[in-house]
Chain A
Amino acid sequence: MRKASNREYAVAVRDLKKYYKLRTNFVDKILIKEQKYIKAVDDISLAITERKTFGLVGESGCGKSTLGRCVLRLEPLTGGNITIFEQNIYSLEEKELRRFRKRVQMVFQNPYSTLPPHKTIGKMLKEVVDYHKVVKEKEAKDYCLLLLEQVGLDGRFSESRPKALSGGQRQRAAIARALSTEPRLIVLDEPVTALDISIQAQILNLLMRLQEEKGLTYLFIAHDLSVIRHVSDIIGVMYLGKIVELLPAKALGKDSVHPYTKSLMSSSHMLGELFKSEKIRLTGEVPSAIDPPVGCKFHTRCPYSFDRCKKEEPRLNPVEEGHFASCFLCN
Chain B
Amino acid sequence: MDVLVIKDLSTHFVENKGKVVAVDNVDLMVKETQTVGIVGESGSGKSTVANSILGILPETGEITSGMIRFKGEELRGFSERQMQQRIRGKQISMIFQDPMVSLNPLFTVGTQIVDVMKLHQNLGVRKAKTKAIALFKKVGISDPDKRFYNYPHELSGGMIQRVVIAMAMSCQPSLIIADEPTTALDVTIENQILNEFEKLVTEMRVSVLWIAHDLGVIRRISDYVYVMYAGTILERGKVEAVFRNPLHPYTQGLLRSNPIYHEPKSQIPTITGELSKMPPHGCCFYPRCKIGDEKCLDNNIKLIKVEEDHCVCCRKIEVRENCYEYE
Measured CB to CB, the residues of A under 8 A from B are: 59-60, 166-169, 196-202, 204-205, 208-209, 223-227, 229-232, 249-250, 263-264, 267-271, 274, 281-286
Q: Is the CB of B158 within 8 A of A226?
A: no
Q: Is the CB of B268 within 8 A of A268?
A: no
**Segment at the A interface, from B53-61, B116-124, B188-196:** B188-196
19 CB contacts below 8 A, A to B, read: A59-B186, A167-B42, A169-B274, A199-B41, A201-B270, A204-B259, A204-B268, A208-B267, A227-B259, A229-B259, A249-B264, A264-B188, A268-B217, A269-B217, A270-B215, A281-B191, A281-B192, A281-B195, A283-B192
List of A residues within 8 angstroms of B187 by Cβ: 59, 223-225, 264, 267-268
B261-291 contacts to A (CB < 8 Å)? 262, 264-265, 267-268, 270-272, 274, 276
Chain A proximity of B25: nearest CB distance (Å): 23
Most buried by B among A204, A230, A264, A268: A268
Q: Is the CB of A271 within 8 A of B216?
A: yes
B199 at the interface (CB under 8 A from A): no
Q: Which of A166, A196, A250, A286 contacts B213 (CB 8 A)?
A: A196
Most buried by B among A198, A204, A249, A269: A198
Q: Which of A60, A169, A205, A269 contacts B268 (CB 8 A)?
A: A205
Q: Given A198-B254, A205-B267, A226-B260 in contact, is the A270-B219 Cβ separation under 8 Å?
A: yes
| Nearest-CB residue, chain B, relative to A206 | B267
Q: Given A226-B259, A270-B215 in contact, is the A199-B274 Cβ separation under 8 Å?
A: yes
| Nearest-CB residue, chain B, relative to A283 | B192
List of B residues within 8 angstroms of A263 by Cβ: 188
Q: State the CA gap A227–B258 with chains docked (Å).
A: 8
Q: Is the CB of A285 within 8 A of B142?
A: yes
Q: Is the CB of B274 within 8 A of A285?
A: no
Q: State the CA gap A231–B215 with chains docked (Å).
A: 20
| Nearest-CB residue, chain A, relative to B220 | A269
Most buried by A among B190, B191, B217: B191
List of B residues within 8 angstroms of A284 by Cβ: 142
List of A residues within 8 angstroms of B142 by Cβ: 284-285
B66 at the interface (CB under 8 A from A): no
Measured CB to CB, the residues of B under 8 A from A are: 41-42, 142, 156, 158-159, 186-192, 195, 213, 215-217, 219-220, 253-254, 257-260, 262, 264-265, 267-268, 270-272, 274, 276
Q: Which of A59, A197, A283 contacts B215 (CB 8 A)?
A: A197
Q: Is the CB of B217 within 8 A of A230?
A: no
Q: State the CA gap A173–B195 with chains docked (Å).
A: 40
Number of A-B residue pairs, CB cutoff 8 Å, is 105
List of B residues within 8 angstroms of A285 by Cβ: 142, 156, 158-159, 189
Nearest 4 CB-CB pairs, A to B? A230-B259, A201-B270, A196-B41, A59-B186
| Nearest-CB residue, chain A, relative to B195 | A281
Q: Is the CB of A59 within 8 A of B188?
A: yes
Q: Which of B188, B213, B262, B267 contacts A197 (CB 8 A)?
A: B213
Q: Is the CB of A282 within 8 A of B192?
A: yes
Q: State the CA gap A283–B189 with chains docked (Å).
A: 9
Q: Is the interface of A mostly helix, strand, loop or mixed?
A: helix
Q: State the CA gap A237–B220 with chains docked (Å).
A: 25
Q: Is the CB of B258 within 8 A of A270?
A: yes
List of B residues within 8 angstroms of A225 by Cβ: 187
Chain B proximity of A166: nearest CB distance (Å): 6
| Nearest-CB residue, chain A, relative to B219 | A269
List of A residues within 8 angstroms of B264 by Cβ: 229-232, 249-250
Q: Which of B192, B216, B270 contacts A270 (CB 8 A)?
A: B216
List of B residues within 8 angstroms of A205 by Cβ: 267-268, 270
List of B residues within 8 angstroms of A196 by Cβ: 41-42, 213
| Nearest-CB residue, chain A, relative to B272 | A202
Q: Which of B41, B158, B216, B254 contacts A268 (CB 8 A)?
A: B216
Q: Is the CB of B216 within 8 A of A269?
A: yes
Q: Which of B42, B156, B254, B271 contacts A286 (CB 8 A)?
A: B156
| Nearest-CB residue, chain A, relative to B218 | A269
Chain A proximity of B240: nearest CB distance (Å): 12
List of A residues within 8 angstroms of B274 by Cβ: 166, 168-169, 199
Q: State the CA gap A209–B265 with chains docked (Å).
A: 10
Chain A proximity of B60: nearest CB distance (Å): 18
Q: State the CA gap A263–B276 with chains docked (Å).
A: 38
Most buried by B among A263, A267, A286: A267
Q: Is the CB of B260 within 8 A of A271?
A: yes
List of A residues within 8 angstroms of B186 by Cβ: 59-60, 223, 286
Q: State the CA gap A270–B261 with chains docked (Å).
A: 9
Q: Is the CB of A267 within 8 A of B270?
A: no
Q: State the CA gap A307–B274 with chains docked (Å).
A: 54
Q: Is the CB of A198 within 8 A of B270?
A: yes
List of B residues within 8 angstroms of A281 by Cβ: 191-192, 195
